[in-house]
Amino acid sequence: MVHAGSVADNCLVRNDWVCPLYVQTRSAQIVEALQQHVSILLVTLAVSVLLALPLAVLAHRTAWVRAFVLGASTVVYTIPSLAMFSLLLPVIGFNASTVVVALVLYSLTVLVRGLVSGLDAVPGEAVDAAVGMGYGRWRLLREVQLPLALPTAFAGLRIAAVSTVALTTIGFLFDSGGLGNLVNQGLTSNFRPEVLTATVLCVVLAVLVDLLLVGLRRWLTPWRRGVAA
C-alpha cells in the first residue's frame, strides 16, 4: 500500500467469499496445495490399479479369493475415512503415506469390484472363440477378457478417482498437504476466500479427472464408440 495510514478497502479486507485478489496474491501457495493434491491422487490411483489387476483376476478365477475380497471390501468401505487414517497412524506414521495407504484401500475396494464384475460379464462365446483359436490363458486374459472388462472397470475407476479427490481433503491432519490445508487455514483464521477457492478447486479437479477418465475409456475402447455410456 502506497498511502500509509489509509485503510485499504478490498475483498481481502472485507473477507469476501469470492476474491480474485486472494487468488492473485497467494497463487504460489494455491498451486503448491493443488500439486500436492494431484500427486496424492496419481500415486493412489497408480498403486491401486497395479494391485487391483492381479487381485481381480484371482478373485475372478478362485471362489474363496472372491468371497474374501468382496467381504473385506464391504468392511473397508464402511469404515469412515477419518477413522481409517487414524487407525493407520500408529502403523505407518504421521506423514502422507498414511493418507495414501488409506486412499489405496478405499480405491481398491471399488476397482476390484468393478474389474471382477467386468470379467464376469465377458461373453462366454468370445472366450470360447479365443480358446478355439488356440489362445493361451495369458493371451486370453490380455487380448480378450481385460479389454472387454474395461468399460465396467472404468466405472469403478471413475468412482475411485472422484472419491479420492474429495477424501484427500482431510489428509491435512496427517501432514499430507493438499487443498485441505487451505480449507483448514481458512477455518482457523476465519478467512473466507481461502475456503471457497480451495473447495471450488477440489470440485473442479474431481470433475476434470472424471472427464479425463471418460476420454481415456473412449480412446481405449474404440469399438464401443457410439454406444451410450
Partner 1 sequence: MSGVADYLLDPTTWTRDDGLLDRLVEHLGISALALLVAAVVAIPVGLWLGHVGRGGFVALNIGGIGRAVPTYALLVLLVLMPAPFGANVPSFTLALALFTVPPLLTNTWTGVREADPAAVDAGRGLGMSGWQLLRRVELPMAMPLLLSGLRLAAVQVVATTTVVGLVGGGALGRVIITGFASQDTRLVVAGAALVALLALATEAGFGAVERRASRRSRRGGGDAPEDPVPGGSTDEGAGTSAQGAAQAAR
Residues at the interface with partner 1 (CB under 8 A): 74-75, 77-87, 89-90, 110, 113, 159, 162-163, 165-167, 169-170, 173, 179-180, 183-184, 186-187, 190, 192, 195-196, 198-199, 202-203, 206-207, 210
User: Whole-number minimum distance, CB 182 to partner 1, in Å?
Assistant: 9
Q: Which is nearer to partner 1, 6 or 78 (CB)?
A: 78
Q: Which three cell numbers stand for residue 146?
A: 481385460
User: Whole-number minimum distance, CB 65 to partner 1, in Å?
Assistant: 19
User: Whole-number minimum distance, CB 169 to partner 1, in Å?
Assistant: 4
CA quadruple 22, 27, 30, 31: dihedral, nearest 10: 160
To which H or E segment does residue 145 belong?
Answer: none
Q: Which is nearer to partner 1, 12 or 170 (CB)?
A: 170
Q: Which is nearer to partner 1, 11 or 140 (CB)?
A: 11
Q: Which is nearer to partner 1, 23 or 173 (CB)?
A: 173
Q: Which is nearer to partner 1, 34 or 206 (CB)?
A: 206
Q: What is d(CA 110, CA 95) in angstroms, rounded to the nearest whole number?
A: 24
Number of helices followed by number of strands (H, E) in the chain? 11, 0
Report how far apart, in Å, the C-alpha atoms of 92 and of each of 66, 97, 115, 175, 188 are: 28, 7, 28, 13, 27
User: Whole-number minimum distance, CB 5 to partner 1, in Å?
Assistant: 30
Q: Is 210 helix (H, G, I), strand (E, B) or coil?
A: helix
Q: Which is nearer to partner 1, 38 or 170 (CB)?
A: 170
User: Whole-number minimum distance, CB 82 to partner 1, in Å?
Assistant: 5
Residues 6 or more apart whose Cβ sits within 8 Å of residue 109:
72, 73, 74, 76, 77
User: Whole-number minimum distance, CB 206 to partner 1, in Å?
Assistant: 4
Where helices occur in 62-145 by DSSP H, the ranges are: 63-78, 81-92, 96-120, 124-132, 137-140
